[in-house]
Structure 1
Amino acid sequence: MNNIVTAIVLAAGQGKRMNTPVAKQFLCLRDKPVIYYSLKAFEESCVDRIILVTGKEQVEYCREHIVDQYHFKKVTQVIEGGKERYDSVWQALRHAETSDYVLIHDGARPFIQSKLIDTIIEKVIEYKACVVGTHVKETVKVVDKQGYIIDTPDRDTLWSAQTPQAFEYNTLIKAYTEFYMGNQKDELGITDDAMVFARYAKLPIKMIEGDYSNLKLTTLEDLTLAEVILSRLLCE
């Protein structure tokens, strides 16, 4: 029996650090919105369906001007997200109840490639939980609250986590349910799904080598770099 794989693409963030009137996932990159590129990659991958999570005011816009306009057949649902990232994931998980595996991706990472998505699908079936990442290039310092260096971790053990992050659905929804049953959500500093999974499922998570071009657009400077990356990808 075939596994059902659902991609959850998050596009509900405000992108305040970008300091633009339009949310970063809807900014134009070569005449197409940023969110188009990640949706296209998932559309061309082996995922079975896509749930797009966006802000309340953008739900109809996304349906008409992104999903319909660009003919994304695998986008089966466009839903309203929540206040925090984990709220949006929680909403999407409850709409993905027939899934065997889920891939969770930041819509502000437009350069994820279908080939890497397919690799992640293979790996999550094997390991039950995995995260895309890249080796840290720079030497990393740990500092105290006063700004003094207190440690220099071994760079060989350090990775920058990216998305997609992929999990066996039943295990992840149980972890998120336990997370939401608690009353310390704001105190835990949860910034990605692997943190929820590690804390509540208490199972190992496999790191899968990704691509340095899988950039998350955060600042205006990232848009300049994105143009360069897109030019290179279009030439390949």
Structure 2
Amino acid sequence: MKYYAILVAGGSGNRMQNAIAKQFLLLDGKPVLMHTLEAFHQCSLSPEILLVLNIHQHTYWEELCSTYKCAIPHQVIKGGEQRFHSVKNGLKAIKGKGIVAVHDAVRPLISSELISKSFEIAEEKGNCVVGITPTDSIRRLTGNQKSESLNRNEVALIQTPQTFNLDILRKSYEKPFRNEFTDDASVAEHSGFEINLIEGERVNIKITYPEDLEIASVFLKNRKSTP
């Protein structure tokens, strides 16, 4: 079986209050995106890596790879208007059949073990999506400053990778874009596919705000100090 990974890196630095896109910010001395590349490169199933990046950032990424001596094999693909279109561009670059994991490039702490598990379950069941149970109380907003309590054991916070048989994901992405398509699971579900959910990792955080970078740095230090 052939394995692929589409790393989606279309984010900007807006919520980071930084002119540099968050995937390029330094974490433990190198860009966030390089940590993500390493995790997939270290996966025992050796997926072929496709990086989907805004066309205006391709040259800058090449310069970063040279500066930080990143030699991990990967193909750079032109990003789209929304995440949906970026993933679609990544899928177009893959020929033949196999299993593909789609991952947020700014989730640099994903473990290679979880990546492998996602591939294996998707190969068996058609897809695999990771998520965690929230520890905070959950309320649903009902409008007019009103809300109602939800049972947190009945909801999940969805992460990536979201991993699919290529035939399933290609068929799902034939649909036109809709605003409610926030991830690959929502696209596939809209096409009638049942989603297989497994437990994710609490350290698999998404770098979105400045404090996320600080938290990720602590997690990395703890990981390095663990025998």
Q: Determine if the TM-score, normalized by the shorter chain, exceeds 0.5.
A: yes
Q: Which residue of 1 aligns with 2:93?
A: 95
Deviation at 1:34, TM superposition (A): 0.3
The CA deviation string for residues 93-125 of structure 1, in whole angstroms up to 9 with x for no partner, is 100132411100000101001111011111111
CA contact (8 A) 1:127 1:205 kept: no
CA distance in 2, matches of 1:64, 1:71: 12
CA distance in 1, matches of 2:185, 2:150: 21
Corresponding residue SS for 2:15: helix
The CA deviation string for residues 171-204 of structure 1, in whole angstroms up to 9 with x for no partner, is 1111101x13xxxx35x3211010000001x121
TM-score of the superposition, structure 2-length normalised? 0.94
CA contact (8 A) 1:7 1:47 kept: no
Corresponding residue SS for 2:120: helix
CA distance in 2, matches of 1:227, 1:103: 25
Matches within 5 A, 1:148-159: 148-149=146-147, 151-159=148-156
Mean Cα deviation higher: 55-64 or 84-93: 55-64
Q: Which amino acid in structure 1 is aligned with residue 160 of structure 2? A: T
Deviation at 1:154, TM superposition (A): 2.0
CA contact (8 A) 1:102 1:169 kept: yes
Alignment CA distance shift 1:142-1:125 (3 Å): same
Identical residues among aligned pairs (%): 34
Deviation at 1:92, TM superposition (A): 0.3
CA distance in 2, matches of 1:135, 1:108: 21
Matches within 5 A, 1:102-117: 102-117=100-115
CA contact (8 A) 1:63 1:78 kept: no
Name whichever structure is richer in helix by fraction. 1
CA distance in 1, matches of 2:14, 2:83: 14
Q: Which residue of 2 aligns with 1:28?
A: 26
Matched pairs, number: 224
Aligned mate of 2:194, from 190, 204, 215? 204
Alignment CA distance shift 1:226-1:117 (3 Å): same
CA distance in 2, matches of 1:111, 1:147: 36
Corresponding residue SS for 2:138: coil
Q: Which residue of 2 aligns with 1:168?
A: 165
CA distance in 2, matches of 1:56, 1:164: 23
Unaligned runs of 5+ in 2: none
CA contact (8 A) 1:6 1:99 kept: no
Q: Which residue of 1 aligns with 2:186?
A: 195
The CA deviation string for residues 198-230 of structure 1, in whole angstroms up to 9 with x for no partner, is 001x12111111110000011111111111111
Deviation at 1:47, TM superposition (A): 3.5
Q: Which amino acid in structure 1 is aligned with residue 155 of structure 2? A: L
CA distance in 2, matches of 1:154, 1:135: 11
Q: Which amino acid in structure 2 is aligned with residue 49 of structure 1? A: E
TM-score of the superposition, structure 1-length normalised? 0.90
CA contact (8 A) 2:37 2:72 kept: yes
CA contact (8 A) 1:42 1:114 kept: yes
CA distance in 2, matches of 1:136, 1:57: 37
Alignment CA distance shift 1:193-1:155 (3 Å): same
CA distance in 2, matches of 1:157, 1:91: 34
Deviation at 1:64, TM superposition (A): 4.8
Deviation at 1:55, TM superposition (A): 1.1
The CA deviation string for residues 60-117 of structure 1, in whole angstroms up to 9 with x for no partner, is 33245338921103x1x10110111111001001001324111000001010011110
CA distance in 2, matches of 1:59, 1:99: 27
Q: Which residue of 1 aligns with 2:223?
A: 233
CA distance in 2, matches of 1:88, 1:30: 28
Deviation at 1:127, TM superposition (A): 1.3
Mean Cα deviation higher: 133-142 or 60-69: 60-69
CA contact (8 A) 2:40 2:47 kept: no
